[in-house]
Amino acid sequence: EAQVTQNPRYLITVTGKKLTVTCSQNMNHEYMSWYRQDPGLGLRQIYYSMNVEVTDKGDVPEGYKVSRKEKRNFPLILESPSPNQTSLYFCASSGEGQGGTEAFFGQGTRLTVV
């Protein structure tokens, strides 16, 4: 089954404690990206990757890091989380289908930083 898997689904952490949210896709997609979703702000792009070892900043990259060492994995790293990073996070992947606009999303990670 084609899917994007994110873990964990829910996470409560304290300010400053490094954390990693994992994302894996099994569709051999070139594009992977991370979004955060906040009420009234829609889906805002954090980072994206066009392929292995190729990453670029999105609209809200501050406080986040990513890596793309393998095609299937695209972890999101918060080195020193702060309360303003409390949000719902989505990982997505897409290939060349539908002009690259058909993205598959993970189930989301609801992060709370206290």
Partner 1 sequence: GQSLEQPSEVTAVEGAIVQINCTYQTSGFYGLSWYQQHDGGAPTFLSYNALDGLEETGRFSSFLSRSDSYGYLLLQELQMKDSASYFCAVKKAGTALIFGKGTTLSVSS
Rule CB under 8 A: is residue 105 a binding residue for partner 1?
Answer: yes
Nearer to partner 1, 16 or 55 (CB): 55
DSSP bridge pairs for 77: 20, 65
DSSP bridge pairs for 103: 94
Give the angle 107-70-78 at the CA atoms, nearest 5°.
55
Residues of this chain, 47-86, that bind partner 1 according to CB under 8 A: 48, 50, 56, 58
Q: Which of 20, 27, 30, 43 binds partner 1 (CB under 8 A)?
A: 43
Q: How far is CA 6 from CA 40, 98, 99, in A?
A: 23, 24, 24
Q: Which of 24, 85, 87, 94 binds partner 1 (CB under 8 A)?
A: 94
- Answer whether 87's CB lies under 8 Å from 76's CB: no
For binding to partner 1 (CB under 8 A), which residues are involved?
A: 31, 33, 35, 40-45, 48, 50, 56, 58, 90, 92, 94, 98-108
